[in-house]
Amino acid sequence: MTDQLNVNMSNEDIKKKSTKKRSQYLEVWRRLKQNKSAMVGLLIIIILILSAILAPFIAPYGIDDQDLLNTLQTPSKDHWMGTDNFGRDIFSRIVYGSIISLQVGFISVGIAMIVGGSLGAIAGYYGGKLDNLIMRMMDILLAIPSILLAISIVAALGHGLKNVMIAVGISSIPSYARIVRASVLTLKDQEFVEAARAVGTNNTRIILKHIIPNSMAPIIVQATLGVAGAILSAAGLSFIGLGIQLPTPEWGAMLSSGRQFIRDYPHMTAFPGLAIMITIFGLNLLGDGLRDALDPRLKN
Amino acid sequence: MKKKKIAVLLSFILILALFATGCGNNQSAPEGDSGPGTPTDKKDVLIVGQGADAVSLDPHATNDQPSSRISKQIYETLVTQNEEMELQPALAESWEPIDDLTFEFKLKQGVKFHNGEPFTSKDVKFTLLRGLDSPHIGHIVGSIDPNSIEIIDDYTIRISTKDPFAPLLAHLAHTATAILNEKAVTEFGDDYGQHPVGTGPYKFDSWVNGDRVELVRFDDYHGKAPAIGKVIFRNIPENTNRTIELETGGIDIAYEIPPTDVSRVESNPDLVLQRNMNLSTTYLGFNCNKEHFKDVRVRQAINYAVNMEAIVKSVYKGVGAPSKGPLGPNVWASNQNLTPYEFNVEKAKKLMAEAGYADGFKTNIWTNDNQQRMDIAEIVQNQLKAINIDAEVKVVEWGAFLDGTTAGEHDIFILGWVTVTGDPDYGLYPLFHSSQHGAGGNRSFYVNEKVDALLDQGRTSVDPAVREKAYIEVQQIIKDEAPWVFTWSGEDLAGVRSNVKGFKQHPAGHHKVYTVYFE
């Protein structure tokens, strides 16, 4: 009897919880939908993701289909964005470049979020000397401008897409550590955490199941904006020749190689530049919209 | 919010900055720069823009073009080569061979260094002995026997080589053998490179590191005094900026006009484009120490698989010419009659199969961040796919590039060489003799006894006919054995404002500016 009652109760509990959870996300989505600029941002990101997934079907040419007889063509019916100095189709390269940019953006933010988030959570939850140690290390990282840090890491590890992602990831660890630590600090003394502690839940479980989910809002916002920053940093690294290897169609590298032709063939720089700009713009609009939608103080 | 704004702003700035690269810093228009419209008789400053800053103005501390272009105005050599590469007297009035090993030089009297010291044979001895200790110019003065430099009197000196060395006089015309003053060198010690003292028409005035070197007229110069009182060498690394500076009158002469700007400069009525084939050659070399490239068939296969003529046309856009051999066409005894490898992928595939690499292999192509060389690397990488070679392009910073290729870390590499003396010994011995592996210049680690023997013969023989025969044969062997894919024979492009007269490019790259005057 008692057993059955218990089961019933917990079942109901779960049901309630899940409906509440769903409604919470629905609520965020509802508020996000109202924000027109955020929807524009979302649309841009969706287009970007689709073009990355469908690149082989969208792009009319390959990434390294050189044609030395058709170099530096201005935009035309055959080449929508013209060709570069090796006669490669710029539109195709930009489409393929979206794969690189998304990879760099999401993976490096993933690295930063996992490492920075864990460090921040540990520091915030345990406090004391450990907190001091971790956060002072983060301060040291913060003291170095992130692009400079990324440059030194790439210089040490060598060129290549993988190393660019690691470098950009590492250089943005401190910001995640700080955000997570701050929200952990506010959460750890709340009743539901005390309750969890009272029933004997261990620390790892408390952090993973109770604290992290409740501090997701600022992390999501930071991550969305972080992807934009990461794409920009990677493009910057490639622009100064420290990023990916030739002939990878990275947007920053394409900008850089178009630089020598900028006075006669501005399309070589304009299109990759626009691609970077629109992507960053979209991510920032979305990030900003998410921030508003996730902020309980702005509930209407 | 702030973050977002910054990010948006940054992305805009990035784009804008790229469009605005042309508008380089022009706020530092120096005094005397008249610009269009002002009377030219006031103009007494010549501004020259080049693509890199000098490394050092101590001729023994470096052997790079940007430095020697400035050193050329400050220092003088014993003999010199004019723009036609003919030997002319400079600090030495006359010279005569004493025997197979020795030359006697009569020095010019009444010559003063910029610090007021008189020039004598002691300075010559001091300079040559100091140069012999320098790792940078070993290949230029290395043949001189340090124990044999004999001062006869203040204005007579004898210089001997260890073995007969035919191109000695041409080597003594190299800017690296410019005569220094012992007192000045000792006085400044390690800082001498920033305080050069020579006997040339211009003396050193100031150096803003990374930006400019300023020289002023030396009033006690022993030769014809230069017409212009002050010369400024500006470092403008971005090609586009250099052209724009020339167009807007920010500089009077721009060295190394990029191929993409040729028509722009040519069609501008205010500018004159000077084009001269120079003594440089650019090549794609194989590291013959590496497993794949030990096999001559692989090297030949790549020669067949790469359409170098089309690449050169596409990259250099009609500047210079596709190379026909290891030496440029202006070098004496250059063999321009070698039958080139045709572009033939089938033949290349066959050779690869014979060598056991029908399925190809992975390799790398090293280049420094020279735009044209990077472009060549990218096209070669693409064309090598046809014979299943998967090449990775490695763009390596110049210092690291030289270190890495000296140590033989590379597989394939792209590099240039300037045969400064115009003599085939300088253009072949360091690059192909087996004693010169690595730092000496032979970065393809090529070994061939016959080539070694012929190069030795060309170096030690004094009979020009014998030398010529040896060099012609060496070039044939090198073409057949294919340690290189011959790439590009260089051309110097200087953009000159039309009021600048008396400027003539030197095939070795270090152009005189002390003959220049304004009109």
Structure confidence by residue, pLDDT tens digits, B294-306: 999 999 999 999 9
**Residue B341 buriedness (CB in 10 A; 0-12 / 13-18 / 19+):** buried
* Per-residue tens of pLDDT for chain A, all 300 residues: 445 544 454 555 555 555 555 567 788 888 888 899 999 999 999 999 999 999 999 999 988 889 888 888 889 998 999 999 899 999 999 999 999 999 999 999 999 999 999 999 999 989 899 999 999 999 999 998 888 888 999 889 888 889 999 999 999 999 999 999 998 898 888 898 889 989 988 888 888 888 888 888 888 888 998 999 999 999 888 888 787 877 889 999 899 888 888 888 999 999 999 999 999 999 999 999 988 888 766 654
**Which chain B residues are closer than 8 Å to A237 by Cβ?**
none
Domain of B421 in residue numbering reads as 280-490
| A275 vs A283: CA distance, rounded Å | 12
Candidates A64, A264, A276; nearest CB to B11: A276
User: Between chains, do B14 and A228 touch, taking CB under 8 Å as contact?
Assistant: no
Query: Smallest Cα–Cα separation from B490: which of B474, B508, B502, B511?
Result: B508
B424 and B309 in a common domain? yes
What's the token pair of residue A196?
């969890």
Domain boundary among B162, B189, B216: B189
Mean pLDDT of B59-77: 92
- Whether A224 maps to a domain, the answer reads yes
- Whether A14 maps to a domain, the answer reads no
- Whether A137 maps to a domain, the answer reads yes
Domain of A143 in residue numbering reads as 35-298
pLDDT at residue B360, rounded to an integer: 93
B17 CB near a chain A CB, below 8 Å? no
Candidates B22, B374, B382; nearest CB to A64: B382
Measured in whole angstroms, how far is the alpha carbon of residue B343 from the centre of its chain? 30
User: Between chains, do A287 and B4 touch, taking CB under 8 Å as contact?
Assistant: yes
| A209 vs A219: CA distance, rounded Å | 16
- Whether B3 maps to a domain, the answer reads no
Interval A22-55: pLDDT, tens: 567 788 888 888 899 999 999 999 999 999 999 9
Q: Judged by CB atoms within 8 Å, which residues 346-385 of B form the interface with A?
A: 369, 371, 374-375, 377-379, 381-382
Shortest CA gap A42–chain B (Å): 15
Interval B150-161: pLDDT, tens: 999 999 999 999
- Whether A101 maps to a domain, the answer reads yes
- Whether B456 maps to a domain, the answer reads yes
Average pLDDT score over chain B: 90
Interval B236-249: pLDDT, tens: 988 889 999 999 99
What's the token pair of residue B10?
């940054």
Please enumerate in sequence order all residues whose Cβ is within 8 A of that of B41, keeping only pairs 6 or more positions apart, or say none: none
Look-up of token digits 């010690």: B189
B239 CB near a chain A CB, below 8 Å? yes
Which value, in Å, is the radius of gyration of the alpha carbons in chain B? 24
- Whether A275 maps to a domain, the answer reads yes
- Whether B7 maps to a domain, the answer reads no
Candidates A71, A260, A277; nearest CB to B240: A260
B294 and B182 in a common domain? no
pLDDT > 60? residue B330: yes
| B122 vs B153: CA distance, rounded Å | 9
**Sign of the dihedral defined by the CA atoms of residues A277, A280, A283, A289, in that order:** negative
Please enumerate in sequence order all residues whose Cβ is within 8 A of that of A6, keeping only pairs 6 or more positions apart, or say none: none
pLDDT at residue B37, rounded to an integer: 45
B287 and B156 in a common domain? no
**Which chain A residues are closer than 8 Å to B379 by Cβ?**
66, 68, 86
Q: Which residue of A has its CA nearest to B10?
A: A232
Give the number of residues written for chain B: 519
**Which chain A residues are closer than 8 Å to B395 by Cβ?**
159, 241, 246
Measured in whole angstroms, how far is the alpha carbon of residue A28 from the centre of its chain? 20
Mean pLDDT of B126-136: 91
User: Between chains, do A247 and B378 touch, taking CB under 8 Å as contact?
Assistant: yes
User: Between chains, do B11 and A281 touch, taking CB under 8 Å as contact?
Assistant: yes
**Which chain B residues are closer than 8 Å to A68 by Cβ?**
310-311, 313-314, 379
Domain boundary among B172, B189, B206: B189
Candidates B10, B18, B382; nearest CB to A273: B18
Look-up of token digits 């979302």: A42
- 3 state SS for chain A: CHHHHHHHHHHHHHHHHHHHHHHHHHHHHHHHHHCHHHHHHHHHHHHHHHHHHCHHHHCCCCCCCCCCCCCCCCCCCCCCCCECCCCCEHHHHHHHHHHHHHHHHHHHHHHHHHHHHHHHHHHHHHCHHHHHHHHHHHHHHHHCCHHHHHHHHHHHHCCCHHHHHHHHHHHCHHHHHHHHHHHHHHHCCCHHHHHHHHCCCCHHHHHHHHHHHHCHHHHHHHHHHHHHHHHHHHHHHHHCCCCCCCCCCCHHHHHHHHHHHCCCCCHHHHHHHHHHHHHHHHHHHHHHHHHHHHCHHHCC
User: Between chains, do B1 and A245 touch, taking CB under 8 Å as contact?
Assistant: no
pLDDT at residue B213, rounded to an integer: 96
What's the token pair of residue B257?
């006009």
- Whether B378 maps to a domain, the answer reads yes
**Which chain A residues are closer than 8 Å to B3 by Cβ?**
225
Half-sphere exposure in the Cβ direction for B330 (13 Å, CA): 25
Interval B367-409: pLDDT, tens: 988 889 999 999 999 999 999 999 999 888 888 888 899 999 9
**Sign of the dihedral defined by the CA atoms of residues B400, B404, B406, B411, in that order:** negative
User: Between chains, do B7 and A280 touch, taking CB under 8 Å as contact?
Assistant: yes
Q: What is the pTM of this model?
A: 0.80
- Whether A260 maps to a domain, the answer reads yes
- Whether B62 maps to a domain, the answer reads yes
Candidates B3, B8, B393; nearest CB to A245: B393
Q: Is the peptide bond before B66 cis (omega within 30 degrees of 0)?
A: no
The pLDDT-based confidence of B41 (bands split at 50, 70, 90) is low
B311 and B184 in a common domain? no
- We report the CATH number of the domain holding residue B102 as 3.90.76.10
B462 and B341 in a common domain? yes
Count CB neighbours of B434 within 10 A. 15
**Substitution target from A147, A227, A260 for chain B, most B beta carbons within 10 A:** A260
B356 and B478 in a common domain? yes
Mean pLDDT of B310-332: 93
| B257 vs A220: CA distance, rounded Å | 50
- We report the CATH number of the domain holding residue A211 as 1.10.3720.10
How far, in Å, are B107, B125, B422 from residue B158 at the CA level? 11, 9, 24
**Which chain B residues are closer than 8 Å to A274 by Cβ?**
15
- Whether A228 maps to a domain, the answer reads yes
pLDDT at residue B137, rounded to an integer: 85
Query: Smallest Cα–Cα separation from B147: which of B137, B136, B160?
Result: B160
What's the token pair of residue B309?
């003529």
B169 and B292 in a common domain? no
User: Between chains, do A86 and B382 touch, taking CB under 8 Å as contact?
Assistant: yes
pLDDT at residue A243, rounded to an integer: 78
Number of domains forming the structure of chain B: 2
Mean pLDDT of B85-109: 94
- We report the CATH number of the domain holding residue B432 as 3.10.105.10
B304 and B439 in a common domain? yes
| B500 vs B109: CA distance, rounded Å | 33
- Whether A198 maps to a domain, the answer reads yes
B360 and B486 in a common domain? yes
Candidates A159, A277, A288; nearest CB to B11: A277
Please name the amino acid found at residue B517: Y
| Dihedral-angle region of residue A99 (phi above 0 means left; psi in -120 to 50 means alpha; beta otherwise) | alpha
| B335 vs B312: CA distance, rounded Å | 20
pLDDT at residue B518, rounded to an integer: 95
Domain boundary among B160, B189, B218: B189
Question: Which residues of A lie inside 8 Å of B (Cβ-Cβ)?
Answer: 64, 66, 68, 71, 85-86, 159, 225, 228-229, 232, 235-236, 241, 245-247, 255, 259-264, 266, 269, 273-274, 276-277, 280-281, 284, 287-288, 291
- Whether B502 maps to a domain, the answer reads no
User: Which of B11-15, B45-49, B227-231 has the lowest average pLDDT?
Assistant: B11-15
- Whether B288 maps to a domain, the answer reads yes
Number of domains forming the structure of chain A: 1
